[in-house]
């Protein structure tokens, strides 16, 4: 059943991509590897997180959010600032019959203002630097909640900079694992919300990326 839903999701994404650019991946084999299998790499970290509401930020075509929602059964929110993408996701969710999955159209900072500390898990795949993801996630997460970052190869200075901001953002590294997906390197880095951040979050919209800490 789960496998059928995962495949149907990819079919719908490939079909939608013919008229609206929601992913650079256009073939079935590439999609199964770089979308579906890649999304499921973070399932152990999701299952290890506290129970509760889960948000996938910068969800795009619904990866990793929809595969993780299918496999975990969690109440899930797919957040993206581009209305065309969330409209496609709404249609896909309906066609897949995923009653526990909804979308949010808007900036991550606005979501944090509307739902402060309400999420148990945040995922982000190929969205931004780890330090920026930590800043985005901290005001969204409740105490004990987890941020799961999907990264490819990453420079040491990006990781070291993220670690230097742990106390500032109230986030603590809990796991970091690297694996191969065929010939590609994948790294799953997980932080836990362990304290109140030392600065007021969220900052003004776009500051996290335009004026990074």
150 is in an annotated binding site: no
Which of 47, 44, 114, 46 has the alpha carbon at shortest distance from 79? 114
104 is in an annotated binding site: no
109 is in an annotated binding site: yes
Distance between CA 115 and CA 102 in Å, rounded?
Answer: 14
Strands 54-57 and 76-80 turn out to be parallel
φ, ψ (nearest 5 deg) of residue 135:
-65, -40
Q: Is 99 exposed, middle or buried (0-12, 13-18, 19+ CB in 10 A)?
A: exposed
Structure tokens at 176: 């970091």
φ, ψ (nearest 5 deg) of residue 114:
-80, -30
Q: Is 97 exposed, middle or buried (0-12, 13-18, 19+ CB in 10 A)?
A: exposed
The end-to-end CA distance of the chain, in Å, is 44
Give how far Cα 46 sits from Cα of 5, 20, 25, 29, 150, Å: 19, 30, 25, 25, 12
| Binding-site entries for S-adenosyl-L-methionine | 58, 63, 108-109, 125
| Binding-site entries | 58, 63, 108-109, 125
């Amino acid at each position: 059943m789960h496998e059928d839903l995962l495949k149907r999701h990819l079919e719908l994404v490939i079909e939608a991509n013919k008229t609206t650019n929601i992913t650079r991946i256009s073939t079935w084999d590439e999609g199964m590897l770089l979308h579906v299998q890649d999304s499921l790499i973070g399932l152990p970290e999701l299952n290890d997180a506290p129970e509760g509401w889960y948000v996938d930020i910068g969800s795009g075509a619904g990866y990793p959010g929809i595969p993780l929602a299918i496999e975990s059964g969690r109440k899930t929110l797919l957040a993206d600032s581009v209305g065309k993408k969330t409209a496609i996701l709404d249609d896909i969710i309906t066609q897949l019959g995923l009653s526990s999955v909804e979308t949010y159209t808007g900036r991550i900072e606005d979501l944090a203002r509307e739902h402060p500390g309400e999420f148990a898990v945040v995922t982000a795949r190929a969205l931004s630097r780890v330090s920026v993801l930590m800043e985005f996630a901290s005001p969204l997460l409740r105490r004990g909640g987890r941020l799961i970052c999907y990264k490819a190869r990453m420079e040491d200075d990006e990781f070291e900079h993220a670690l230097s901001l742990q106390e500032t953002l109230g986030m603590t590294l809990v796991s970091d694992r690297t694996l191969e997906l065929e010939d590609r390197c994948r790294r799953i880095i997980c932080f836990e919300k362990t304290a109140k951040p030392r600065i007021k979050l969220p900052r003004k919209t776009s500051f996290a990326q335009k004026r990074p800490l």
